[in-house]
Amino acid sequence: MAKETPIINILTYKLPFELTNQIYNEFQNRLKEANFLIDTYKTYKPLKDNIKTVELFLSLSIFHRRIITNLDGAVKFYGTVTKKGQTDTVRIGNYNLTNDEKNKILAVVINYNELLKKFSIPPLVMEYYETRDFLKKLITLKSELEYVDFKERQRRKKGNETSEEDIPF
């Protein structure tokens, strides 16, 4: 059986080496810290059985902070500069950011945010400074999802639910 590729490698594929290296190092340091916190402190024990999920969310959150927020910032910066400067191109060194490129960047940000929404991942989970804050947000998310799942099972037991399979069209 082939070895599973870590999600951090998938997210950083084809990014410049320096950026990939920064992201990978941050991921390794935070994962090590997260594992220590989960193994050591009772507060973080609810995540003990979900280490793979912690790893996936950690990868995604670092990608979000290092890539997506910067892309979103570039789109906003372009909007501000072009509106106030009455221009359609922003020159940054030798690079020209045009409206077409801004739209491509915006499409990436929008698609990313739609994926978060599709999988019910609140963007708030991605915003933290310390690893312990990240873990607390994951514990909260886990308990919210478990509560929703519990309520859904209760509703099904009562027979009040109409699922998509029950709709005739």
Nearest CA among 1, 149, 140 for reference residue 57: 140
- Number of folded domains that form the chain: 1
- Structural domain includes residue 11: no
- Structural domain includes residue 82: yes
pTM for this predicted structure: 0.84
**Which residues of the chain are under the pLDDT cut of 50?**
167-169
- Structural domain includes residue 160: no
pLDDT tens digits, 29-41: 999 999 999 999 9
- Structural domain includes residue 166: no
Contacts of 72 (CB under 8 A, 6+ apart): 109
With a pLDDT cut of 70, the percent of the chain lying above it is: 92
Domain that holds residue 34: 16-142
- Structural domain includes residue 156: no
- Structural domain includes residue 147: no
- Structural domain includes residue 153: no
- Structural domain includes residue 151: no
List C-alpha distances in Å: 85 to 78, 95, 105. 10, 18, 21
